[in-house]
Structure 1
Amino acid sequence: MIRRPLLEQVRHSHKMPTWNKNPHLDKIIRVDHAGELGADRIYAGQMAVLGNTAEGPTIKHMWEQEIKHRERFEQLINEYRVRPTLLTPIWNVAGFALGAGTALLGKEAAMACTVAVETVIVDHYNDQLRTLMEDPNIDKEILKTITKFRDEEQEHHDTGIDHGAEQAPFYKALTEVIKAGCKAAIAISKRV
């Protein structure tokens, strides 16, 4: 009797998710989990500084959506058995520091941070959606999740613009530095 490899036996006997249908899915879930954790912490930092101001309810609304995004990717990490990035503790601290630090510069700088982060995230999600759409065995649930979250991130971007982001001191320089940091965090989180 020829025996199948152990992983193949387990996969057939327990109906494990077939995350190997799309070779990009591991990286997508890992990096999105890291990004949503970072976003959660950015808004937590902004709330710590601006929570009792006129901007508090707006920031709280965006934060509540980010918490739901993070929770969903935590479910996907477990469901698809994806290893989270090893840099989770760093993104936790860095996200809070970025949110609180920009908020300490004023509500406009906090909103500029939101615009910068969400610009990168919307582009990132659009790239992922294109990658997923190329797969004939597309995971429709993940596609739906990323599409919904992308739309909410776009809403956050637009909210930042509507709440004075472009009036932040050194807006262009501030947003470009934050965008570069976000892009670096994405690249690192895919691998580490």
Structure 2
Amino acid sequence: MIDKIISEVDFALKLFTVPQKGLRTSPSENVSNSNHELSDDDVKQTARLMRVNHTGEVCAQALYRGQLFFNSDEVTEKALKHAAFEEIDHLNWCEQRIKELGGKTSYLNPIFYMSSFSLGAIAGKIDNKFNLGFLEETEKQVTTHLEGHIKKISKNDKKTHAILEQMKYDEQCHQKTAKSLGSKELPSFFQKIMNATSKLMTKTTYWI
């Protein structure tokens, strides 16, 4: 147990200090779109929304690590690790776009990482079907969240739209995987806790 705790602390520290390596290049790489085509207000708002999405990806890493902490099912472990690895791509794409827009990532990331890890660990401790249900519900809420951002961002910002559309597709695939593995629907109170945490993260990281 001590070794696992040390490993998790090491992972968290590296997440915030060392650039993470993914497999895929950003979907925006092949899109011809300049920030000069956007108004100053569009650039500012999009940078803030992408900061929210970046923190969401930090939370995703924490959730998956928390879920894996007590998990003993090999199939669930494979699904969680696959999802987490794809989320590293999302993390990189969001951070890259934030920099291109002249924005900054959130100072609150470490706090949300710790809270998300704890929530994931609770889900993983209960049972495997619940753990998969937690994965499904997480991806469902993230998909809804991304759809909202896609509507808010200027249609002229094709780079950001390309990123968010791919992220949305990946999240939907993760949700379907969890369901196909026999996920259990979460109790309404647990869904409400997840939703409240998500709203808190969204509202604070938009500004900080």
TM-score grouping bracket, smaller chain normalisation = 0.7 to 0.9
Paired AA for residue 158 in structure 2: K
Q: 1:174, CA displacement in angstroms?
A: 1.8
Paired AA for residue 116 in structure 1: E
Q: 1:116, 1:176 within 8 Å by CA — same for their partners in 2?
A: no
Question: Which whole-Å CA distance do the structure 1 matches of 2:177 and 2:60 have between them?
Answer: 15
Q: 1:130, CA displacement in angstroms?
A: 1.2
Q: How many residues align?
A: 172
Deviates more, 1:83-92 or 1:32-41: 83-92
Q: 2:71, 2:124 within 8 Å by CA — same for their partners in 1?
A: yes
The equivalent of 2:117 in structure 1 is: 96
Q: 1:184, CA displacement in angstroms?
A: 2.1
Question: Which whole-Å CA distance do the structure 1 matches of 2:54 and 2:189 have between them?
Answer: 27
The equivalent of 2:178 in structure 1 is: 160
The equivalent of 1:29 in structure 2 is: 50
Greater C-alpha Rg: 1
Paired AA for residue 165 in structure 1: S
The equivalent of 1:180 in structure 2 is: 196
Q: TM-score of the superposition, structure 2-length normalised?
A: 0.74
2:78 counterpart (39, 53, 57): 57
Q: 2:55, 2:109 within 8 Å by CA — same for their partners in 1?
A: yes
- Post-superposition Cα deviations, 1:96-120, rounded to whole Å, max 9, x if no partner, equal 2222221111122222222222222
Q: In the alignment, is residue 112 of structure 1 matched against residue 133 of structure 2?
A: yes
Question: Which whole-Å CA distance do the structure 2 matches of 1:34 and 1:129 have between them?
Answer: 17
Q: 1:117, 1:182 within 8 Å by CA — same for their partners in 2?
A: no
Cα RMSD (Å): 2.2
- Post-superposition Cα deviations, 1:128-170, rounded to whole Å, max 9, x if no partner, equal 11122xx35x2111100000001111122222222333255xx
SS in structure 1 of the partner of residue 70 of structure 2: helix
Q: TM-score of the superposition, structure 1-length normalised?
A: 0.79
SS in structure 1 of the partner of residue 206 of structure 2: helix
Question: Which whole-Å CA distance do the structure 2 matches of 1:161 and 1:180 have between them?
Answer: 23
The equivalent of 2:99 in structure 1 is: 78
Unaligned runs of 5+ in 2: 1-33
Q: In the alignment, is residue 141 of structure 1 matched against residue 159 of structure 2?
A: yes
Q: 1:38, CA displacement in angstroms?
A: 0.6
Runs of 4+ in structure 1 off by over 6 angstroms are none
Could you tell me the percent identity over the aligned residues?
A: 21
Question: Which whole-Å CA distance do the structure 1 matches of 2:200 and 2:91 have between them?
Answer: 20
Question: Which whole-Å CA distance do the structure 2 matches of 1:76 and 1:95 have between them?
Answer: 24
